[in-house]
Structure 1
Amino acid sequence: MVGQDTSRRSFLEATGSAASAVALGSAFTGEADAQQTTTQQGQGASGTLNLINSTMSTLDPIKATDTASGEVIQQVFDALMNYPDGNIEVQPLLAKNYEVSDDFTTYTFTLKEGATFHDGSEVTAQDFVYSFERLAQSPESRRAYFILQSIGVKHSTDADGNYQPDTLSVTAVDDRTLRIQLEEPFHATLEMLAYTAFAAVPEGIVGDIQGYNGELEYSEFATSQPVGCGPFKFESWQPNTEASVTRYGNYYGNKAEVERVHWQIMSDANARYTYAMNKNADAFSIPTEFYDPNKVEVETTDERGREVGTYGPVRNGETLNFLAVPTINTFYIGFNTNRVEQAARHAAAYAMNKEQLVEQVFKGRGRPAFHFTPPAIYPGGPDAYQQHAQQEYPYSYRQTDLQKARQVMREAGYGPDNRYQFTFTVYQRSNTWPQVGQLLRDKLSSAFIDMNIETAPFSTLLKRGRNGNLQAYSLGWVMDWPAPDNFLQLLNPPLTDTSQSAPISYVNWSGTEASERARRAWTTVQQNPAPTDQAEQARNEAYIEMEEANWQDTVFLNVYHQTDQRFWYDYAQIPKFGAAGTSRQMFNDATVDKPNGGQ
């Protein structure tokens, strides 16, 4: 349970969903990306859609923090709202319609008729009351801050700031009407309600909160008997091996075209590629070490910047269909400011050629990152992002400037006979970030810096970071909701303090003029939460102030924004996914017509 922080949108879970997803993604250019295609709905299709996934952790929507689990959960559980095909324009799903009060603090939802859970019971507003209470109070919940701090639903706390059970202001007015009251307006309420953590589960299904004994043991619900109301119902999950779901015939929405979706779970890049080349997977991503950008032929680019074309020939002689989507994410190097001097951080910024890294290491699957806020959600959009970076970025814009790197180190008292040293820690199973480190290390060597590179398991990296035992590290963040504050919370100085119980990043940013700029700017964001033009303008100015404060101290050295890709054979069709990524996509409109009746 979360508790100690008094700030409404203080995020107490260290790195959360995004870091889990992204560390895996950096190894294989989007691990959870295991499918893709053009928009073409088949008629009367059946069979199995075969995909590849990475290691899953749970089937419980309130516990999942990784995109691998999220992709499967998205098929089984429905929420009030949804990002259709992972596009960031949120739309009603289980909600038939909704009303918002004039002061933006009361949301009233009318549920669609005919929605049933996979056990046959009807979906009612009381199921949402129970589901949201689980999100807020269950010891299994890793997303309590979503409802208590992010959206800020009214509730009570004890003297220590811990949530008091059954005080959540979520009310079932009747079977079809749900009312949610917020402490104050929040501009991304509807977007957050599309997150699967807010999905409906049958009232009393598990007894992990007060007042319920549970129809299932928690372990059963979370691993072998999840009950949702999505287009697919759960079939099986063998950890580290496979997972599958089957079509739910009584789905209230568009019933699934395919009978079944099957994921083979594998992390080894060679095994994933071989599995795909043997046509065991119908749609998949290609690990970076097997990807050749020269085999891409882009035929069209749509208004969302999504590229559609072909890729090949590949190892099995086939030419694949291809989709590339600029998704909302940022990969970065974080510096513990207590352990890496500012001069060395600035030298790294001067030395890094981000464009070179994107082309040589990530093989063009992304774009250089000059802001922590991704282009799609940057104030003013991608053009404003680029203009601000080009005009204001204080270091080497799209180039390396080793002369400046040496200069800042000399001014700090370092030179050939007095070299500086720090360690850069990367995710153990990443194939790309060690290469990033090597390129940066070689450049920094001429700037009197010896940068060591070490690898660590992902869980170890996070634990050491939370304890303040990293000097520099690589991580990334993908959207929980499509707004800059979802990203810039990581640069709110008080939440970077590793002496606290749950820092959201591990940089210990304090005691500088820039950190004070960032703290004041974040206060402005918190004081202007409403979905109004005036509040949005105040937030946008504060967001840019935080970006420039980060440039000033080089706390996060932003590296790149990843482009997710999907490859598929002609016999499989899945609608194009959007900027929210593949883990937000439902597969009920996918079709498979494999030659010779293959499954």
Structure 2
Amino acid sequence: MQFIMIIINAEHQQGEHEMTPLSWSRRGLMAAVGAALVAGGLSGSASAQTPPGVLIVGQIAEPKSLDPAAVTAVNDFRILVNVYEGLTRYKSGTLEVEPALATGWDISEDGTEYTFTLREGVSFHDGTPFNAEAVKFNFDRMLDENHPFHDTGPFPLSFFFGAVEKTEAVDDMTVKFTLNAPYAPFLSNLAYPTGLMVSPTAVEAHGKEFGRNPSGTGPFKFAEWRSNEAVVVERNDTYWGEVAGTQAVVFRPITDANTRVAEMLAGGIDMMVEVPPTSLGQFQGDGFSVAEQAGPHVWFLILNAKEGPFADKRVRQAANYAINKEAIVNDVLEGTATVAAGPTPPAFAWAYNEALDPYPYDPEKAKALIAEAGAEGAELTFFVTEGGSGMLDPVPMGTAIQADLQAVGLNVKIETYEWNTFLGEVNPGLEGKADMAEMAWMTNDPDTLPYLALRSEAWPDKGGFNSGYYANPKVDELLEAARTATDQDERARLYREMQTIVQEDAPWVFVANWKQNAVTSDRVENFGLEPSFLLHLQGVVKN
């Protein structure tokens, strides 16, 4: 902290204007950020206080990219929603959609045309105007293989907008989407980070390097990315809405959970997301605030249904019986989650199948199924991650799962990876590499996860996330029908039937539904978690 004050005082003596914590010059701000990063590597009193006006957030991993169309992890999204905006957004505290860069919209009677009126007077951070042509550019870049900047991808969640047949700039501030069929999740998907609007000019200037040189319309603008150290965003003083309450936010990747906890306790960071359940008690006293929020999360094991022991449904079911999920939830996760019953989180109450009970812990039944399938003593490779978005406490969870499976006669070898490396192994598919892998999803609509990760058309070689190669034509049929149904009750019926079939087929081991958490120092005000699992920091103030 002494180093930071020297920098500020030196600037003041050199004739810079009078500075308060929220009105530093950019040079002083960036110097203070740099000093904070140096201090973050120290211990004890050296890191006892972060600089004023700069919010330092302990993230679980380095972002893969700052191009919202190119990433899939909530870890990345937590940064991006502060830099970019979409046509719609989630209303605070809910998953209901409200206007953002669009001020309103009309939907045709047949549900295949959406016409949006855009917000006037909005500019990207590079000074170029936000308009209908910019919207068209964003969607054409993702969806049109012949677009000149389609090669800035890949765009792994372009599935979200697969129903879009055409995007048309009707006039400067009106854009129309024509869909190939009614698509119930469309407005919700526009609010998801994949629908965030990027500057066409910045994409044209930086090409495939746009993800390191982002430009959006949000309350913060990109300042710096120091690989494996920090992403820094600074307040956008020309923002069309309410100006952010802090001068800058520093997102520090601290992959080891225990190190994040130690940094938070020492004062090296102001905020920490995804606190390990066993560490929450350390933040219950003075000096910290703990935030918790339920949301649409599911933690599961992907099982390789294409080859090896898990190609047999009986062995997949055996894994569900063999794993003591209650013990994982209560002992490893310290009661911060509930046992999952299927692929749809209970947070989607209107679509959740309450008639389903979780697989009970029944090791004897697991042994019988394994024997029936002739899989006794099978050798299994299990991919485990060190950490990641929504992954909770993945190493202890993986160790507990390994022990339970070995207790019923399966020999499990764990391979552990850093989060982005882990995704690089799992997302292309488990074939030839592993029999099972940890995974967690936090979604925006009951359509999202099953459509992207359970359909036969979502196998990795077809651009999806069905890394275990599950296939059931009836599930495919139900999911296609549910996303085009315009009546919510009918959608709910279809999703509930899908859940029943998927639970029986057991392509995953359904483990836990988590209640997210975060810790802030007592210098941080106006912070709250969202059910979307996104991290909106515009209104946060740091004393």
TM-score class normalised by the smaller sequence: 0.7 to 0.9
1:217 matches 2:206: yes
Is the contact made by 1:346 and 1:405 (CA closer than 8 Å) also made in structure 2?
yes
Q: Equivalents in 2 of 1:251, 1:146: separation in Å?
A: 28
User: What displacement does 1:170 show?
Assistant: 1.4
Greater relative contact order (Cα < 8 A, sep 6+): 1
User: What displacement does 1:372 show?
Assistant: 0.9
Q: Equivalents in 2 of 1:464, 1:182: separation in Å?
A: 29
1:94 matches 2:82: no
Secondary structure of the corresponding residue to residue 194 of structure 2: helix
Give aligned-pair identity as a percent: 23
1:237 matches 2:225: yes
TM-score (norm 2): 0.80
Q: Equivalents in 2 of 1:202, 1:452: separation in Å?
A: 46
2:230 is matched by which residue type in structure 1? Answer: E
Matches within 5 A, 1:287-302: 287-288=275-276, 291-293=279-281
2:486 to 529, 532, 535: 532
Is the contact made by 1:424 and 1:437 (CA closer than 8 Å) also made in structure 2?
no
1:462 matches 2:426: yes
Q: Equivalents in 2 of 1:280, 1:528: separation in Å?
A: 47
2:173 to 164, 176, 182: 176
Secondary structure of the corresponding residue to residue 152 of structure 2: coil
User: What displacement does 1:379 show?
Assistant: 3.9
CA deviations 1:383-425 (Å, max 9, x no partner) are xx4x4133xx5x41xxx222322333344457xxxx3313141
Correspondence for 1:50: 56
CA deviations 1:85-136 (Å, max 9, x no partner) are 4731111111111111111111111112221222333321111112222222
Q: Equivalents in 2 of 1:259, 1:188: separation in Å?
A: 36
Correspondence for 1:495: 458
Correspondence for 1:548: 500
Correspondence for 2:328: 357
Matches within 5 A, 1:73-222: 73-85=80-92, 87-137=94-144, 138-143=150-155, 146=158, 150-154=161-165, 169-206=166-203, 214=204, 216-218=205-207, 221-222=210-211
Correspondence for 1:474: 438
User: What displacement does 1:336 show?
Assistant: 1.6
Matches within 5 A, 1:250-399: 250-285=238-273, 287-288=275-276, 291-293=279-281, 311-313=283-285, 318-337=286-305, 338-340=307-309, 341-381=312-352, 385=353, 387-390=354-357, 393=358, 395-396=359-360
User: What displacement does 1:350 show?
Assistant: 1.8
- Evaluate the alpha carbon distance shift between residue 588 and residue 453 of structure 1 in structure 2; reply closer, same or farther with a 3 A threshold: closer
- Evaluate the alpha carbon distance shift between residue 435 and residue 270 of structure 1 in structure 2; reply closer, same or farther with a 3 A threshold: closer
What is the RMSD computed on CA atoms of the aligned residues?
2.7
Is the contact made by 2:102 and 2:117 (CA closer than 8 Å) also made in structure 1?
yes
User: What displacement does 1:369 show?
Assistant: 0.7
CA deviations 1:219-249 (Å, max 9, x no partner) are 553314x222111111111111112111112
User: What displacement does 1:342 show?
Assistant: 3.3
Correspondence for 2:542: 592
Is the contact made by 1:423 and 1:454 (CA closer than 8 Å) also made in structure 2?
no
Is the contact made by 2:185 and 2:447 (CA closer than 8 Å) also made in structure 1?
no
Is the contact made by 1:406 and 1:447 (CA closer than 8 Å) also made in structure 2?
yes
2:63 is matched by which residue type in structure 1? Answer: M
User: What displacement does 1:261 show?
Assistant: 1.4
Q: Equivalents in 2 of 1:528, 1:288: separation in Å?
A: 36
Is the contact made by 1:420 and 1:449 (CA closer than 8 Å) also made in structure 2?
yes
> Which stretch shows the higher mean deviation, 101-110 or 466-475?
466-475
2:524 to 540, 559, 572: 572
User: What displacement does 1:55 show?
Assistant: 0.3
The answer for unaligned runs of 5 or more in structure 2 is: 1-51, 145-149
- Evaluate the alpha carbon distance shift between residue 70 and residue 145 of structure 1 in structure 2; reply closer, same or farther with a 3 A threshold: closer
Q: Equivalents in 1 of 2:314, 2:249: separation in Å?
A: 52
2:368 to 390, 396, 407: 407
1:94 is matched by which residue type in structure 2? Answer: L
1:421 matches 2:388: no
